[in-house]
Chain A
Amino acid sequence: MPEIKVTPLGAGQDVGRSCILVSIAGKNVMLDCGMHMGYNDDRRFPDFSYITQNGRLTDFLDCVIISHFHLDHCGALPYFSEMVGYDGPIYMTHPTKAICPILLEDYRKITVDKKGETNFFTSQMIKDCMKKVVAVHLHQTVQVDEELEIKAYYAGHVLGAAMFQIKVGCESVVYTGDYNMTPDRHLGAAWIDKCRPDLLITESTYATTIRDSKRCRERDFLKKVHETVERGGKVLIPVFALGRAQELCILLETFWERMNLKAPIYFSTGLTEKANHYYKLFITWTNQKIRKTFVQRNMFEFKHIKAFDRAFADNPGPMVVFATPGMLHAGQSLQIFRKWAGNEKNMVIMPGYCVQGTVGHKILSGQRKLEMEGRQILEVKMQVEYMSFSAHADAKGIMQLIRQAEPRNVLLVHGEAKKMEFLKQKIEQEFHVSCYMPANGETTTIFTNPSIPVDISLGLLKRETAIGLAPDVKKPKLMHGTLIMKDNSFRLVSPEQALKELGLAEHQLRFTCRVHIQDPRKEHETVLRVYNHLKGVLKDYSVQHLPDGSITVESILIQATAHSEDQGTKVLLVSWTYQDEELGSYLTSLLKKGLPPSTA
Chain B
Amino acid sequence: GGGSWLDWSSFRGFSNLYYSGLSGLCSERDFKVECGGFSNRPVYSLKPVPDTSLLVTSGPPDTSLQVWQVSAEDSDVIKSVSTISTENGTGQTWAKIATISARAPWVLHGSRLNNIQITEVESRKNSASSTTPHSEELSGLAFLDANTLLLCCARGGLCLADVRQPQSPLEAASVPWAPCGERWCMGVGRGPQGSDSQPIACLSSRGRLTLTDIRKISESLASAKCKVPSPSSDAEFLCVSWAPALEGCLAVSGFDGTVHVYDAQSWDSSGGEAEPIFVHKGHAFGPGSSRNPPLVTVHMWHPQKPRTLLSAASDGSLHVWDWVQSCGKCG
A residues at B contact (CB < 8 Å): 208-213, 216-217, 220, 224, 366, 385-388, 394-395, 418-422, 425-426, 429
Q: How far is the CB of B311 from chain A (nearest CB, A)?
A: 15
Most buried by A among B16, B26, B27, B34: B27
Q: How far is the CB of A345 from chain B (nearest CB, A)?
A: 18
B76 and A208 within 8 A (CB): yes
With A421-B75, A421-B76, A425-B77 as contacts: A210 and B38 at CB distance below 8 Å? no
Q: How far is the CB of B196 from chain A (nearest CB, A)?
A: 41
A-B contacts, 5 of them at CB < 8 A, read A209-B32, A213-B29, A386-B26, A421-B77, A422-B36
Q: Is B33 an interface residue (CB 8 A)?
A: yes
Question: Could you tell me the distance between the alpha carbons of A421 and B34 in the complex, rounded to whole angstroms?
Answer: 11
Question: Could you tell me the distance between the alpha carbons of A540 and B166 in the complex, rounded to whole angstroms?
Answer: 86
A394 and B30 within 8 A (CB): yes
Instruction: Give the residue of B28, B33, B73, B74 whose beta carbon is less than 8 angstroms from that of A208.
Output: B33
- Interface 1/0s, chain B 32-45, versus A by CB < 8 A? 11111110000000
B33 and A210 within 8 A (CB): yes
A395 and B28 within 8 A (CB): no
Chain B interface SS verdict (over half): strand
A220 and B27 within 8 A (CB): yes
Q: How far is the CB of A73 from chain B (nearest CB, A)?
A: 24
Question: Could you tell me the distance between the alpha carbons of A420 and B73 in the complex, rounded to whole angstroms?
Answer: 13
Closest to B31 in A: A210
Question: Could you tell me the distance between the alpha carbons of A211 and B30 in the complex, rounded to whole angstroms?
Answer: 5
With A418-B74, A421-B76 as contacts: A208 and B29 at CB distance below 8 Å? no
Q: Total number of A-B contacts with CB less than 8 angstroms?
A: 55
B38 and A209 within 8 A (CB): no
Question: Could you tell me the distance between the alpha carbons of A425 and B37 in the complex, rounded to whole angstroms?
Answer: 9
Question: Could you tell me the distance between the alpha carbons of A366 and B16 in the complex, rounded to whole angstroms?
Answer: 31
Question: Could you tell me the distance between the alpha carbons of A131 and B36 in the complex, rounded to whole angstroms?
Answer: 48
A422 and B35 within 8 A (CB): yes
Most buried by A among B29, B34, B35: B29
| With A208-B34, A386-B28 already in contact, 15 other A-B pairs whose C-beta atoms are closer than 8 Å | A208-B33, A210-B30, A210-B33, A211-B29, A212-B29, A212-B31, A216-B29, A386-B26, A394-B30, A418-B76, A421-B75, A421-B77, A422-B36, A422-B77, A426-B38
- List B contacts of A395 (CB < 8 A): 33
Most buried by B among A210, A366, A386, A387: A210
A212 and B30 within 8 A (CB): yes
Chain B interface, number of residues (Cβ within 8 angstroms): 20
Q: How far is the CB of A84 from chain B (nearest CB, A)?
A: 34
Question: Could you tell me the distance between the alpha carbons of A418 and B37 in the complex, rounded to whole angstroms?
Answer: 14
Question: Could you tell me the distance between the alpha carbons of A588 and B202 in the complex, rounded to whole angstroms?
Answer: 86
Question: Could you tell me the distance between the alpha carbons of A213 and B1 in the complex, rounded to whole angstroms?
Answer: 24
Question: Could you tell me the distance between the alpha carbons of A429 and B33 in the complex, rounded to whole angstroms?
Answer: 17
Chain B, range 10-32, C-beta contacts under 8 Å to A: 16, 26-32
Q: How far is the CB of B308 from chain A (nearest CB, A)?
A: 15
B27 and A419 within 8 A (CB): no
A425 and B38 within 8 A (CB): yes
B28 and A387 within 8 A (CB): yes
- List A contacts of B36 (CB < 8 A): 208, 422, 426
Q: How far is the CB of B27 from chain A (nearest CB, A)?
A: 5
Instruction: Give the residue of A209, A217, A220, A366 whose beta carbon is less than 8 angstroms from that of B33.
Output: A209
Question: Could you tell me the distance between the alpha carbons of A306 and B77 in the complex, rounded to whole angstroms?
Answer: 48
For the complex of A and B, 3 pairs with smallest distance between CB atoms: A212-B29, A208-B33, A422-B36
Question: Could you tell me the distance between the alpha carbons of A386 and B1 in the complex, rounded to whole angstroms?
Answer: 15
Instruction: Give the residue of B27, B32, B33, B38 whose beta carbon is less than 8 angstroms from that of A385.
Output: B27
- List B contacts of A420 (CB < 8 A): 76
- List B contacts of A208 (CB < 8 A): 32-34, 36, 76
B30 and A388 within 8 A (CB): yes
- List A contacts of B75 (CB < 8 A): 418, 421
- List B contacts of A421 (CB < 8 A): 75-77
- List A contacts of B37 (CB < 8 A): 422
Closest to A224 in B: B27
- List B contacts of A419 (CB < 8 A): 76
- List B contacts of A418 (CB < 8 A): 73-76
Instruction: Give the residue of A209, A220, A387 whose beta carbon is less than 8 angstroms from that of B31.
Output: A209
Closest to B76 in A: A422
Closest to A218 in B: B29
Question: Could you tell me the distance between the alpha carbons of A319 and B264 in the complex, rounded to whole angstroms?
Answer: 49
- Interface 1/0s, chain B 273-304, versus A by CB < 8 A? 00000000000000000000000000000000
- List B contacts of A210 (CB < 8 A): 30-31, 33
B29 and A217 within 8 A (CB): yes
Question: Could you tell me the distance between the alpha carbons of A595 and B137 in the complex, rounded to whole angstroms?
Answer: 79
Chain B, range 74-95, C-beta contacts under 8 Å to A: 74-77
Q: How far is the CB of B8 from chain A (nearest CB, A)?
A: 17
Q: How far is the CB of A451 from chain B (nearest CB, A)?
A: 33
Question: Could you tell me the distance between the alpha carbons of A401 and B202 in the complex, rounded to whole angstroms?
Answer: 47
B30 and A209 within 8 A (CB): yes
Closest to B73 in A: A418
Q: How far is the CB of B28 from chain A (nearest CB, A)?
A: 6
Q: How far is the CB of B41 from chain A (nearest CB, A)?
A: 14
Question: Could you tell me the distance between the alpha carbons of A385 and B29 in the complex, rounded to whole angstroms?
Answer: 12
Closest to B37 in A: A422
Question: Could you tell me the distance between the alpha carbons of A388 and B75 in the complex, rounded to whole angstroms?
Answer: 23
- List A contacts of B16 (CB < 8 A): 426
Q: How far is the CB of B3 from chain A (nearest CB, A)?
A: 13
- List B contacts of A425 (CB < 8 A): 38, 77
A422 and B29 within 8 A (CB): no
Question: Could you tell me the distance between the alpha carbons of A388 and B73 in the complex, rounded to whole angstroms?
Answer: 24
Q: How far is the CB of A362 from chain B (nearest CB, A)?
A: 14
Closest to A221 in B: B27
Closest to A394 in B: B30
With A395-B33, A422-B33, A422-B35 as contacts: A387 and B27 at CB distance below 8 Å? yes
Question: Could you tell me the distance between the alpha carbons of A224 and B28 in the complex, rounded to whole angstroms?
Answer: 12
Question: Could you tell me the distance between the alpha carbons of A388 and B26 in the complex, rounded to whole angstroms?
Answer: 12
Instruction: Give the residue of A220, A224, A366, A429 whose beta carbon is less than 8 angstroms from that of B29.
Output: A220
Question: Could you tell me the distance between the alpha carbons of A224 and B27 in the complex, rounded to whole angstroms?
Answer: 10
Q: How far is the CB of A181 from chain B (nearest CB, A)?
A: 15
B38 and A429 within 8 A (CB): yes
Q: How far is the CB of B31 from chain A (nearest CB, A)?
A: 5
Q: How far is the CB of B24 from chain A (nearest CB, A)?
A: 13
Closest to A217 in B: B29
